[in-house]
Chain A
């Protein structure tokens, strides 16, 4: 690593840390408001942003070889499949009354 790369790296880490703490405080503040379903959405979106920052910067995914970057995303994408199709069942179960109701 060249010397200026080191400085850049520390600055990136500290910057991301500040952003993460800021997002944490935002989450806390939002939780105190009543947004109905929006609370969960906001909290999870902020969580996702934090996760992306940690993966890209702390875990150095942005400088990793392509194969590593693909696997960094693959797990979350596959979890998405599990969540979407399972929740698809639960959410739509009540939609059509079955015979006899």
Chain B
């Protein structure tokens, strides 16, 4: 039997002074995360509304404009994020059982998939750059584009960019969480932290689940 020297947590999870017991603290932290996710829904939601307005007004032009957007990369990325959510859920499960090895492994896979997502997105963006389809920075399309194409790409980059930023933040937080777990904060009583990070990560996945059909799936029927 191998004896690996894992660091050991020095103390029980802290009870902050404003709470009367650990259950209250855990529930409050969880509710706080759900309320935060509400704010994020409204944050992205404002952009979805703007996009919906213009998509309605310029339906045909947006369809044409969206052709250069890569169906393949978008679909692969959707699969990547869905898989990362699975591993995040499994990580939570490992945390609930206090299984440090599994927790760390699953957290790292989740973060790695997040990085893969960002890498694919970078390729996605750079392809569009090559076509001269990046508003404000390099908008000189080398393909015939309807006049409202720029508006389409403004929303494309604003919304997927904002989402990518959230993925990046998530990856950083996951790595931070892995560090905490490695240092020994991974008893079953610590699982609420993993759960709350998971809520954030799954939410980021949900946003992508809506971005994908709106930007990558238009006008694909030939």
Binding site for B on A (CB under 8 A): 1, 6, 9-10, 13-14, 17, 20-21, 24, 27-28, 31-35, 39-40, 43-44, 46-47, 50-51, 54-55, 57-60, 64-65, 67-68, 71-72, 74-76, 78-79, 82-83, 86-87, 90-91
Contact = CB atoms under 8 A, between A and B. Distances in A.
A65 B27 contact: yes
Contacts of A65: 27, 30-31
B56 A54 contact: no
Given A17-B82, A79-B41, A90-B56, 7 more contacts: A27-B212, A35-B221, A39-B218, A47-B210, A54-B205, A68-B31, A75-B45
Interface of B: 27, 30-31, 34-35, 37-42, 45-46, 48-49, 52-53, 56-57, 71, 75, 78-79, 82-83, 85-86, 88-90, 93, 96-97, 188, 195, 198-199, 202-203, 205-206, 209-210, 212-214, 217-218, 220-222
Contacts of B42: 75, 78-79, 82
| Nearest 8 A/B pairs, CB to CB | A75-B41, A43-B213, A79-B45, A34-B221, A75-B38, A31-B220, A71-B34, A17-B86
12 contacts: A13-B90, A20-B85, A31-B220, A40-B213, A57-B89, A58-B202, A68-B34, A75-B45, A78-B41, A79-B42, A83-B48, A86-B53
Nearest to B203: A59
